Amino acid sequence: MTFTSDSASTRFSQAFNPSIQADAVTSTTTVFQSLSVDDQLAVLWYAYTEMGRSITPAATGAARLQLAEGLLNQIKQMSHPEQLQVMRDLVAKKNTQFTRSYGILSANTKLAFWYELSELMVKGFVVPVPTDYQISRDGSQVLEALKQLDFGQQITILRRVVADMGFDPLA
Ligand code: 45D
């Protein structure tokens, strides 16, 4: 896919123009990754609230979560501002001890990590998304695009997105 402009909205309209659209999974992933850090977090959260019912905790695999448990426990002990900072660091691929530990997890364990974070948010252990958070137009369009796809495509996009987050100490 080629882009003629760096603006996210131009990328967006090109990515979703059926005449130049290569593949919905690739284009939705690309537009997602062009969103601001906060909008990426917000879209992930809203995607979880939409998909939550379809994801069974058993499917995320207890064994995988064990590998992420240390990170989840660290997050539970943090203040709300610290929790938000860690999530922003993951999305922004900052190089910190936390993002390096995340970086060595497998793609599915990363997905399970985010899933569990959402569960912790629901239970009140993790900072909530402000009820008045204004998501950008591109952000809500990514969300709409995600909703149009089937579960398998949604998971593929989410897996690609979270696999790319954090910092890979071996890269
Ligand atoms: O103040 O292993 C903002 C299966 C604004 C099976 C904010 C699977 C500013 C195999 C930044 C918005 C395939 C089913 C605050 C796995 C501000 C397998 C806060 C799949 C406070 C794993 C933002 C699993 C915040 C799947 C706190 C599909 C945002 C898992 C937090 C999907 C966002 C998991 C979070 C998803 C989003 C998790 C925690 C979609 C998590 C999303």
What is the structure's pLDDT at 170?
A: 84
The mean of the pLDDT values for the chain is 87
Give DSSP secondary structure letters for 39-94: HHHHHHHHHHHHHTTTS-HHHH-HHHHHHHHHHHHHHHHS-HHHHHHHHHHHHHT-
The residue-averaged pLDDT of 120-133 equals 96
Q: What is the pLDDT of residues 47-64, one digit of tens each?
A: 999 887 777 766 667 667
Question: Does 42 contact ligand 1 (Cβ within 6 A)?
Answer: yes
Question: Does 59 contact ligand 1 (Cβ within 6 A)?
Answer: yes
Instruction: List domains and CATH numbers for the chain.
Output: 32-163 (1.10.2090.10)
What is the structure's pLDDT at 73?
A: 96
How close is the Cα of 41 to the center of ligand 1, in Å? 7
Contact criterion met (CB below 8 Å) for 7 and 34: no
How close is the Cα of 4 to the center of ligand 1, in Å? 31
Torsion of CA 67, 72, 77, 79, to 10 degrees: 150
**Protein residue whose Cα sits closest to atom 21 of ligand 1:** 129
**Residue 167: strand, helix, or coil:** coil
Contact criterion met (CB below 8 Å) for 159 and 51: no
The residue-averaged pLDDT of 102-108 equals 94
Query: Per-residue pLDDT for 12 more than 80?
Result: no
What is the structure's pLDDT at 1?
A: 41
What is the structure's pLDDT at 66?
A: 84
Ligand 1 pocket, mutate which of 39, 44, 66 (most atoms under 8 A from CB): 44
Distance CA 69, CA 31 (A): 30
Q: Which of 72, 93, 104, 95 is nearest to 166 (CA)?
A: 93
Question: Does 32 contact ligand 1 (Cβ within 6 A)?
Answer: no
Question: Does 35 contact ligand 1 (Cβ within 6 A)?
Answer: no
Q: Which of 165, 151, 21 is nearest to 93 (CA)?
A: 165
pTM, rounded to two decimals: 0.86
Contact criterion met (CB below 8 Å) for 157 and 40: no
Q: What is the pLDDT of residues 85-102, one digit of tens each?
A: 999 999 999 999 999 999
Question: Does 48 contact ligand 1 (Cβ within 6 A)?
Answer: yes
At 148, which amino acid appears? Q
